Amino acid sequence: MRASIRGRDELTVKVQTALSLPTKKDAEHVVNAVITSLEATLLSLNADGFTLKLNGFGKFSVPSADNPKWGRGLPTISGRA
């Protein structure tokens, strides 16, 4: 749990700096809005197996439960975008 909180604090500082926001609270609102939107999007996908392009990270792949080409069925991040 501590790593998650620490990671979120680091993300908040980066967002505040990148967007030149005056307060940490403003940055927290932005981070919460993005996370909430991403969660809602991922939860609403009715696809069994999909890939998202994440700028700067590469492709995030969620495997299909019955498609052997996805390997062991674990989400992966591969390559750089």
Q: Whole-model pTM?
A: 0.60
Instruction: Based on the fold, state whether residues 62 and 28 are members of the same structural domain.
Output: no
Q: How far apart are CA 34 and CA 14, in angstroms?
A: 14
Instruction: Based on the fold, state whether residues 50 and 40 are members of the same structural domain.
Output: no
* Bridge partners for 76 per DSSP: 61
| Number of structural domains the chain divides into | 2
- Per residue of the chain (81 residues), give pLDDT as tens: 566 778 889 999 999 999 999 999 999 999 999 988 888 877 776 666 777 777 777 777 777 666 655 555 555 555 544
What local confidence, expressed as pLDDT, does residue 51 receive?
A: 76
What local confidence, expressed as pLDDT, does residue 81 receive?
A: 42
Q: How far apart are CA 62 and CA 59, in angstroms?
A: 10
Range of the domain at 14: 1-44
